A and B are shown apart, each in its own frame.
Chain A
Amino acid sequence: MKKILIFTLTVFGLFSCKKEVLDKTNPNQITSATYWKTESDVQAALAATYTLFRDVNSGYWGVRGIELTNGRGDDFFIRNDVADLYRLSTFTNTPDNGPVNDFWNGSYRAIFRANQVIENVGKVPGLSDAAKAAYVSEAKFLRGVNYFNLVINFGDVPLHLKVPVSKDDYFVAKSPEADVWKQVIQDFTDAAANLPTSYPSNFVGRATKGAAIAYMGKAQLYSKDYTGAETTLKQLTTAPFSYSLMPNYQDNFLATTKNNAESVFEIQLADVGGTNPWAGENANEAIGVTTAQEFAPAEVAGWFEVSPTDKLFNEFQKEKTTASDFDPRMYATLVWNYPGATFYNKPFSDFQLLFGYSSMFKKYQNFNQNGEITGASGASDYTSSDNERALRYADVLLMIGEALTMQGKVAEGFTYVKQIRDRANLPAIAAPASQDALMTEIRHQRMIEFARENQRFYDLKRWGLLQQEITNSDKVGKEYFVPGKHDYYPIPQSEINSNSKMVQNPKW
C-alpha cells in the first residue's frame, strides 16, 4: 500500500518541471535592449529610416507619394482607378483617404526611427565624438525632411522629438505651423553643422552637408525668410561645394546617370533585395519603386494611372529654343506625337491617348526598355531602379533667384534664372524690369523645369495662386476646389479616432 503511494508520488515528482521552462525568448529577432552595440547597428538603423522615403504605400517618393504630391497640381491628372487617388486629385477626398493616411503614418515612423538614432548613438562603444555627431546630424536631417513633408501637406502637425517612454507619450496634440517650421529649420541647421560634404563611394547617396543646407534654405524660402534663404543657399554655389547643372537636362532622370553633379539629395532605388515590391518591410521586398509601371501606358502592360494636362503641354511650348525646336525639357518630360517620336522602342503612334490629353509622361519612365514589368535584376517584379531626385541644383538656383527677387534685387536674381534658361538652350532675353515680371518668369520656369517632381502644387500654394491657376486650367475636378480648405490635406481620420488630443484641420 505504502509502496504504491510512494511510487505514485515519485512519478508525480519526476514529471514536475522547473520554472525556467516558462522563459522563452524570441528566436527570430533581437530585442531593443540588446541592440546599439556597434557602428553597423547605427548604420543599419539609418538605412531603416531612409528606406521609408521609398515605401510603396507610405513613402513620399514611393508611387503613392508621387501621386498625392503631384495629383492636385494643375499639370496632373489621375484616372478613376484607385478611387482614393482620383478623389484627392479632383478635390473630392475625405479624411479617411487611404494614401494620405499612409503617408502620414510613414512620415511619423521615419521620425520615430530617427529619434531612436539620435537618442541611442551615444550608447555605442568605440565611436569617436565626431562620428557620433555626424550620425546624429544625419538622423536630424532625415527627421527634418519628414517634418518638412508633413508641414507643407498638413499645416499644423504634432511634434515628436523623443522616443515615447510611457503610453502617455503616444498622444501628442498638434503644434501650430509656425512652430513646426521653426523645428524644421532647427533640425537642418543642426544637420548642416556636422554632416560630411561627401561620402566614400560605397555610401554615395546618403545625406551630405550640401543637402542639409539646401533643405534649410528651402524651408526658409517657404517661411518667407528671403534674406535667410539667400544667405543659406548661396553657400552651395561656392567651395567646398561643386554642384553644377548637367548640360543634358535629361541626365537628371535616367537610371544610368544617378547621383550626378546636379544631384543634391536623391532617393536611392535599385532592383535588389527581394523580388516583391509589395512584400512589406522584410527580405522579400524589392527596394525600388513601382511608379514607372503604374504610370506606363497600357500598350506595354502598364496601368496608365496618370497623365499630364494640356495646360502643361502648352506651357512647354511658350518658348522655343535657339534652334527653333521644342524646349529640351519638354522632350525629357513628355512624349507626344512629334515626328520620329518613340516610346518603349515603339513609334509613339502605336500608343493611344486615352484621356483626351495630348501627351504622356516620360520623365522617370524607363522608356528605353520594352516595358516596366521586368526590373533591372531580370525578375518580373514591376520595380524601377531610377532614383527619384528629391532636390536638384536647378532648384537651388531658382530658389536663390526667387529669394533675391522677393527682396527686390531683380538684376541679381535674374543671373540665377538665366543659368536655367541657358541650360535649356532658350534664347537670351533682357533682364525683366520689375519684380512682378521676374516672378512671372520664375513661375513659368519652375512649372516646366520641375514637372512631375512634387513641386507645382506647393509652389502655387506659397505664391497664393492655387485658386487662380487651378481655375485657369483643364484640370478635372477644378470646380470642387475650395480655397482655404484644399490647400492642405485633412488630418487622417484614423489619427483623429485614436488620438484624443487631435483636432481636424479647418474646413475639413
Chain B
Amino acid sequence: MQKFTKLFLRRMIFTLVTLCAICFSAAAQTTAVSGVVSAKEDNTPLPGVTVTIKNTQQGVATDANGKFSLNAPTGAILVFNLVGYEPTEVPVNGPVVNVSLSARQNSLNEVVVIGYGTVKKKDLTGAVANIKGSDIKSQGVSDVTKSLQGKLPGVTIEAAGGNPGSGTRILIRGVGSLNNATPLYLVDGVPVANINNLSQNDIQSIDILKDASAAAIYGSRAANGVVLVTTKSGKSGQTVIQANANYGLQKIAHRVDVLNAEQWATVSNQAHDAAGLARLDIAKNPESLGAGTNWQDAIYRSAPIQQYDLLLSGGNQSTNYSVSGSFLDQDGIVKVTGYNRYNLRARSETSKGPFKFGETIILTREKTISMPGGWGGQGGDPVGSAAKMIPVFGIYDPTAQGGFAGATGPVVNVANPLAQLNLEDINRVSSSILTNAYGQLTVLPGLTYKLNFGYTANFGTGTDYYKRYVVGTLFSHPTNDLSISKDQTDLLLVENTLNYTKLIGKHSIQALAGYTYQKNDYTYLLSARTDLPDGLENIDAGAGTSTTGGNSIQSTLLSALGRIIYAYDDRYLLTASIRRDGSSRFGANNKYGNFPSLAIGWNASNEKFYGSSLKDILSTFKLRASYGVLGNQEIGDYQYSAAVASNINYVTGTTQQKWFGAIQTSFADPNIKWESTKTVNAGFDAGFFHDKLFVTADYFIKTTDDVLLNVPIPGSAGSTSNPVVNAGSLRNKGVEFGVNYTDQIGKLKYSVFGTLSAVKNKVLQLGTGTQQIFGGQPTHHGASSTLTEAGGPITGFYLIKDLGIFQSQAEIDAYKGKNGNVIQPNAHPGDIKFSDTNGDGQITAEDKVYMGSPFPNFEYGFGFNASYKNFDINAFFQGTHGNKIYNGLRQDLESMSLEFNYSTPTLKAWTPQNTNTTVPRAVINDPNFNDQTSSRFLESGSYMRLKTLQIGYTLDGNMKRKLNVHSLRIYVSGDNVFTITKYTGFNPDLGRTGSIFDRGVDFGHVAYPLARTFSVGLQLGL
C-alpha cells in the first residue's frame, strides 16, 4: 500500500499548490470537471489514476470506481497517468470527461486473448505469445504468417513450399506428434484450416497459446498449440480510413550451380571413358558446344508483387464497426506461376442494455497457378528439371507439336521445364466464407451467457488442362486432356458458454462453463475427359474417354468445458480448466477423452515486501507454473474400421471386358483412441526499469503418449497401407526467451527485441519396441536417410559414413574386413571410401550411423525499430543453428552416374592428375556406389537471414495539412535481403510438406526456390 500513501501525499501537495495557484491567478476561470477513467481493452474502471492539469501541479487521483473530480480552467488539458498505461492527455470540453487508457506495450495490464475470453496479462498463468498487427511490419510477402518467423519465442514458422500461395507451417514448441503437428487456428473464434489467406492489415493481434494451461480449454485439438487471430474492430469515437499500397519485385535469391554444355560434355566423356563405355553422341565435340542453354535462366524471372487495401472503421458508445477490402497479386519467380487474392471483411458489434451482438464476415477468393509436379521420367517439377536438363538441348522447336524441343537419345528422361510450364495449365480457384455471429446476454451482473455460431465454407475448383505435344523423343502426349475437380469443405460450430466474473474484496473470480458442437463436411467430385480440340477447355468438348470420381467425409466433435481463473489481491493466481471431448474419428470404445489442466502464478512485484528500490529496477515480476493434458485426433476419418475397396478391376472373357473387383486391401485397428500430450511448464515474466526492458522465459516438458501413427508393418503382411495405431511416446523439452527493450534518447525512439527457443525431442517408445521407421527418401531412387526409433530423436539422419577418397589401388586393397576380404572390391582409385561401422566386411544398410538432426539446437530472431523525427527504420533477423539438411538434389547432380546435367563441383572430379578434391571420379555406372545415400550429401542447415529491412518517412504536420490527410507514411522495404548459410541448395528453410519423417530432406523434385523482394509502399490515413 505504499502506492496509496504516495498518492495521498501527492494529493495533499497538489491541493496546496492548487490553492496557491488560485491565489495567484485570480483571472483564470475554473469549472468543476468529473469523469470515469477506464481501461480501453475491457472497459474496467481504473482506480489510482493521477489526473493532473497540464503544466501545473494540480491534480487528483481516481477512486476505486475510477471516478475523479476536480476544478479546472476551461481550455485546460488534463493529463492521466497510471503505471502500466500510456499517459493520455484530454482537453476539458465540458463538465464530464470520460477517458480510456490503453495499456503500455508488454505491460502486465495488456489484455491477452485466451480461449473463450480475454484476461489481463497480470492474471495470466499460462504461456502465451502475443503479437500486435502493427508489429507485423514486413510488407513484401503475401502471407501474414511468413512475417512472424522468429518473432515469437517457441513458435517456429516455416514455408510450406516456396510457390506463391503455398502458405506456411506453424510448429509450436517442437514437433509433438508424428502424424500431424499443425496447431489449432481460430479466426475470431472460428476454426480454420490455416491463416494463409488473411490480409495482413486485417489483423489486430495474434495470440499463441503454448502450454497446457492456456490451451486446455480447447482440449482435443490443442495438443500442438492454439493460434488465436483477432481481426480489427472499430473504436468508439474514432472514424478511421486507412489505405495501404505496396509494390515490389521478387528475384530468385540463390540458384544451384550447374555446368554449361561444353563443361557437361567434358565431364560426361570422362565418366564414359572411365567405365569403358562409348561416349554419348551429343557429347562428342565439347569445344563446339559453347555454353548451350542455361535452363535456370529460362525458367526464372523478376516477378512483381502488389497489395492494396482499404480499411474503414469507427463507432460510438453502442456500436462499432470495421470494414476492409484488400487485393493481392503475386507473380511467381518461376515463370507462369502466380497467386492472387481478394478479401472483403466486415466486423461489427452492437450493445444495448444487457445484450450484445456481433459478427465477423470474411469473404476470400484466391487463384493459384501452379507448376506441374512432373511429367513422369526422372526430372520432377520444372525447378528440378531445369537443374538436371542437359544444356546441349535447345528450348524451342517450331516444327514440333507444342513448339518445344526436348531431350533425345539415350539420356535420362528429364522434361524440358519451360515446356512443362507452358504445356500444362494447373490452377486452383478457391472461394471461402468465414462467418462468426454471436449474441451475448448479461443475465445477472457479472454473469453473461454467450451463444456463438461459426460457419466456414470453402469451395474449390482445381483444373488441369494438359495440352498435346511432342517434346524431344522422350515425351509425347497426343491429345488435349482436361480434368476438373470440385471440392467443398464446410464447418459448423455452435458454442454455448456461461461466464461469471466477480470481485469479492481481494478475491477475483472468473468462471466459465460451456458446451460445444462442431461438424465438418467434405465432398469431392472429379470429372475428366480426353481428346479436346485445340483451344477449348470444357469437358463437353472432349471426344475421348471420360473419367469420374467422388467421395465425401463427415466428422463431428461434441464437447463440454469449464474453467476457473482465480486471483487473490492481484498477487496469487490460479487457473483450472477441464474439457471433455467426443469424436467421431474413434471407435465405440474410445470416443471420449478428458483434458484437465492446472496452473498457478505469483505476481511477486505486488507483494508488500517488494521494496520501492527493487521496483525501480525490477518493476514487475511474475512467476508461473502449469500442468495439463491435451489431446490430438488429427488422423483421417473412419480409420478404425477396415473397408472394402472397390474398382480393383481385371479383364475377363473372350470379348475382354472389365471384370469388377473389390476386396479389403488394408488392415485397421478398431481400438485406436486419442493421442494425449502432458505438458509441464514453468516460467517468469519480468519488467525492468519501469517496464523499459521486458523479459519472458519458459521451460517446458511436453510428453505425448499414444501417438497415432501409420506404423510400418512388413510388406509380407499384404496390406496396401500401414494401419493407424496408437504406437508411441515422444518427449519435447525446451526453453524459450523473449526480450524487449524500449527507450528514448532525445528525439530518437528505439526498441530492440529478440527471441530464442531451444527444443530437444526424443522418442521414448515406438510401436513394437524395436520398431524403426525409415523415411526421407532423397531422390527418385535413393535409400532412406532418416530413422526414428525409441531412444533417439524424431527423424534423425542415419547414414552410411563417407570417409574420403581412395587415392590408390593399394589403399583399396588394404581396406580389409575381419575375415581378410577387401571391403569394397568394386572400388577404383578416385572412389569414395565408406565406413564399415558394424565390422562385417561389407558396406550395407547395417553400417548406418546417427549423423545429426533436422531440428535445430536453437532458433532465434532479433531486430530493432527506431524512429528519429520523421524517419523510421526497422530490421529483423531470423535464423536457426545446429540443424542438418540432406541435399537430395545434390545427390543427383553430383552423381555423374546418370545421363543428365551435373553440378559445378564435378569439374573438380578426382583424376590421377587432380587428387586434391572431395568429389569422386566420374564413372557412368558407378560400381562403387559413390552416389548412394551417405553422409557425403549431409550439410549444415544453420542460417541467419535478414528477413526484413524497412525504412520509412512519415509526413509532418505541414505537409499533412497541405495534402489534407490525417497521416501518411511512405517506405521502402526489403524481404529476405540476404542469408548467411553454408547450405548449398536453394533455401535452408526447406518448406517440405508431407510426412514428418521426410523433414530435413531437400528433395529436388518438389523444390521451389526462395525469392528476394524489394518493394515500395505507402500507408495513408484520411
Q: A interface vs B, CB < 8 Å?
A: 1, 4-5, 8, 11-12, 15-17, 19, 21-33, 35, 41, 43-51, 54, 79-84, 86, 90, 92, 94-96, 98, 101, 104-105, 108-113, 115-116, 157-158, 160, 164, 167, 169-172, 201-206, 258-259, 268-270, 272-276, 278, 281-285, 287, 298-299, 301, 303-304, 354-356, 371, 373-374, 377-381, 385, 477, 480, 492-500, 502, 508
Q: A281 and B665: CB pair below 8 A?
A: yes
Rounded to whole Å, the gap between the CB of A343 and the closest CB of chain B is 16
Rounded to whole Å, the gap between the CB of B152 and the closest CB of chain A is 35
> Could you say which of B63-71, B310-318, B409-417 contacts chain A?
B409-417
Known: A27-B554, A81-B413. A287 touches B650 (CB 8 A): yes
Q: B714 and A170: CB pair below 8 A?
A: yes
**Alpha-carbon distance between A116 and B646 when the two chains are bound, in angstroms:** 15
**Alpha-carbon distance between A51 and B645 when the two chains are bound, in angstroms:** 14
Please give, as numbers and ranges, the residues of chain A lying within 8 Å of B844 by CB-CB distance. 94-95, 508
> Could you say which of B474-482, B562-570, B746-754 contacts chain A?
B474-482
Q: B476 and A301: CB pair below 8 A?
A: yes
Judge whether B662 is part of the interface by a CB distance below 8 angstroms: yes
Closest chain A residue, CB of each to CB of B653: A202
**Alpha-carbon distance between A237 and B639 when the two chains are bound, in angstroms:** 52
Known: A96-B783, A112-B717. A32 touches B412 (CB 8 A): no
Extra pairs beyond A12-B496, A24-B556, A108-B715 (15, CB < 8 Å): A19-B558, A28-B551, A43-B659, A47-B659, A80-B924, A90-B925, A94-B783, A96-B783, A269-B651, A273-B649, A274-B545, A275-B547, A281-B720, A282-B647, A496-B845
Please give, as numbers and ranges, the residues of chain B lying within 8 Å of A278 by CB-CB distance. 376
Contacting residue for A48 out of B494, B648, B932, CB 8 A: B648
Please give, as numbers and ranges, the residues of chain B lying within 8 Å of A82 by CB-CB distance. 378, 781
**Alpha-carbon distance between A63 and B551 when the two chains are bound, in angstroms:** 30
> Could you say which of B618-626, B768-776, B829-837, B982-990 contacts chain A?
B768-776
Judge whether B638 is part of the interface by a CB distance below 8 angstroms: yes
Interface centre among B410, B474, B647 (most CB of A within 10 A): B647
**Alpha-carbon distance between A24 and B478 when the two chains are bound, in angstroms:** 45
| Mask of B470-498 contacts with A, CB within 8 angstroms, 1/0 | 10011111110000000000000010101
Q: B661 and A48: CB pair below 8 A?
A: yes
Q: A270 and B720: CB pair below 8 A?
A: no
Known: A31-B641, A80-B925, A205-B651. A498 touches B530 (CB 8 A): no
Contacting residue for B898 out of A80, A92, A275, A301, CB 8 A: A80
Judge whether B427 is part of the interface by a CB distance below 8 angstroms: no
Please give, as numbers and ranges, the residues of chain B lying within 8 Å of A51 by CB-CB distance. 648-650, 661
Q: A94 and B647: CB pair below 8 A?
A: no
Q: A500 and B768: CB pair below 8 A?
A: yes
Q: A270 and B651: CB pair below 8 A?
A: yes
Judge whether B637 is part of the interface by a CB distance below 8 angstroms: yes
Closest chain A residue, CB of each to CB of B779: A83
Rounded to whole Å, the gap between the CB of A157 and the closest CB of chain B is 8
Q: Which B residues from 778 to 794 make CB contacts under 8 A with A?
A: 780-784
Q: B774 and A379: CB pair below 8 A?
A: no
Closest chain B residue, CB of each to CB of A288: B651
**Alpha-carbon distance between A380 and B663 when the two chains are bound, in angstroms:** 29
Please give, as numbers and ranges, the residues of chain B lying within 8 Å of A259 by CB-CB distance. 654
**Alpha-carbon distance between A33 and B642 when the two chains are bound, in angstroms:** 8
Q: A285 and B644: CB pair below 8 A?
A: no
- Going nearest first, the 7 A-B pairs with the smallest beta carbon separation are A112-B718, A47-B661, A48-B661, A301-B476, A29-B643, A499-B714, A105-B715
Contacting residue for A268 out of B531, B544, B651, CB 8 A: B651
**Alpha-carbon distance between A378 and B529 when the two chains are bound, in angstroms:** 12
Q: A32 and B649: CB pair below 8 A?
A: no
Please give, as numbers and ranges, the residues of chain B lying within 8 Å of A285 by CB-CB distance. 647, 649
Q: B549 and A282: CB pair below 8 A?
A: yes
Q: A500 and B770: CB pair below 8 A?
A: yes
Judge whether B278 is part of the interface by a CB distance below 8 angstroms: yes
Judge whether B703 is part of the interface by a CB distance below 8 angstroms: no
Contacting residue for B648 out of A26, A47, A268, CB 8 A: A47
**Alpha-carbon distance between A281 and B409 when the two chains are bound, in angstroms:** 33
**Alpha-carbon distance between A82 and B658 when the two chains are bound, in angstroms:** 31
Please give, as numbers and ranges, the residues of chain A lying within 8 Å of B655 by CB-CB distance. 201-202
| Mask of B701-734 contacts with A, CB within 8 angstroms, 1/0 | 0000000000011111111100001000000000
Closest chain A residue, CB of each to CB of B769: A500
**Alpha-carbon distance between A27 and B725 when the two chains are bound, in angstroms:** 22
Please give, as numbers and ranges, the residues of chain B lying within 8 Å of A355 by CB-CB distance. 410
**Alpha-carbon distance between A303 and B407 when the two chains are bound, in angstroms:** 12
Q: B451 and A109: CB pair below 8 A?
A: no
Please give, as numbers and ranges, the residues of chain B lying within 8 Å of A31 by CB-CB distance. 641-644
Please give, as numbers and ranges, the residues of chain B lying within 8 Å of A477 by CB-CB distance. 925
Known: A92-B927, A287-B651, A498-B713. A493 touches B515 (CB 8 A): no
Interface centre among B588, B646, B899, B924 (most CB of A within 10 A): B646
Contacting residue for A8 out of B441, B554, B654, B725, CB 8 A: B441
Judge whether B971 is part of the interface by a CB distance below 8 angstroms: no
Judge whether B964 is part of the interface by a CB distance below 8 angstroms: no
Contacting residue for A22 out of B473, B515, B591, B719, CB 8 A: B591
Q: A273 and B558: CB pair below 8 A?
A: no
Q: A205 and B717: CB pair below 8 A?
A: no
Rounded to whole Å, the gap between the CB of A378 and the closest CB of chain B is 6
Q: B470 and A301: CB pair below 8 A?
A: yes
Rounded to whole Å, the gap between the CB of A256 and the closest CB of chain B is 11
Cβ contacts A to B, 6 pairs, < 8 Å? A27-B551, A32-B643, A50-B661, A115-B718, A283-B548, A378-B531
Q: B716 and A158: CB pair below 8 A?
A: yes
Known: A4-B444, A44-B663. A12 touches B515 (CB 8 A): yes
Known: A92-B929, A109-B719, A268-B656. A116 touches B713 (CB 8 A): no
Closest chain A residue, CB of each to CB of B642: A32
Q: B649 and A287: CB pair below 8 A?
A: yes
Closest chain B residue, CB of each to CB of A275: B545
Rounded to whole Å, the gap between the CB of B471 and the closest CB of chain A is 10
Rounded to whole Å, the gap between the CB of B440 and the closest CB of chain A is 11
Q: B547 and A47: CB pair below 8 A?
A: no
Please give, as numbers and ranges, the residues of chain B lying within 8 Å of A15 by CB-CB distance. 451, 494, 496, 515, 517
Interface centre among B376, B551, B658, B926 (most CB of A within 10 A): B658
Contacting residue for B714 out of A16, A23, A480, A495, CB 8 A: A495
Please give, as numbers and ranges, the residues of chain B lying within 8 Å of A101 by CB-CB distance. 715
Closest chain B residue, CB of each to CB of A35: B644
**Alpha-carbon distance between A158 and B715 when the two chains are bound, in angstroms:** 11
Known: A109-B718, A164-B717. A380 touches B478 (CB 8 A): yes
Closest chain B residue, CB of each to CB of A36: B644
Q: B826 and A480: CB pair below 8 A?
A: yes
Judge whether B819 is part of the interface by a CB distance below 8 angstroms: no
Please give, as numbers and ranges, the residues of chain A lying within 8 Å of B782 by CB-CB distance. 96
Judge whether B742 is part of the interface by a CB distance below 8 angstroms: no
**Alpha-carbon distance between A43 and B653 when the two chains are bound, in angstroms:** 14
Please give, as numbers and ranges, the residues of chain A lying within 8 Å of B771 by CB-CB distance. 498
**Alpha-carbon distance between A29 and B412 when the two chains are bound, in angstroms:** 40
Contacting residue for A47 out of B473, B476, B650, CB 8 A: B650
Known: A81-B378, A171-B714. A494 touches B651 (CB 8 A): no
Judge whether B55 is part of the interface by a CB distance below 8 angstroms: no
Q: Which B residues from 523 to 567 make CB contacts under 8 A with A?
A: 530-531, 544-545, 547-549, 551-556, 558
Please give, as numbers and ranges, the residues of chain B lying within 8 Å of A354 by CB-CB distance. 409-410
Judge whether B664 is part of the interface by a CB distance below 8 angstroms: yes
| Mask of B624-643 contacts with A, CB within 8 angstroms, 1/0 | 00000000000001100111
Closest chain A residue, CB of each to CB of B586: A22
Q: B410 and A495: CB pair below 8 A?
A: no
Closest chain A residue, CB of each to CB of B474: A303
Known: A23-B584, A29-B645, A377-B545. A98 touches B653 (CB 8 A): no
Please give, as numbers and ranges, the residues of chain B lying within 8 Å of A275 by CB-CB distance. 530, 544-545, 547
Q: B658 and A204: CB pair below 8 A?
A: no
Q: Which B residues from 374 to 417 make CB contacts under 8 A with A?
A: 376, 378, 408-410, 412-413
Known: A44-B660, A105-B715, A203-B653. A26 touches B547 (CB 8 A): no
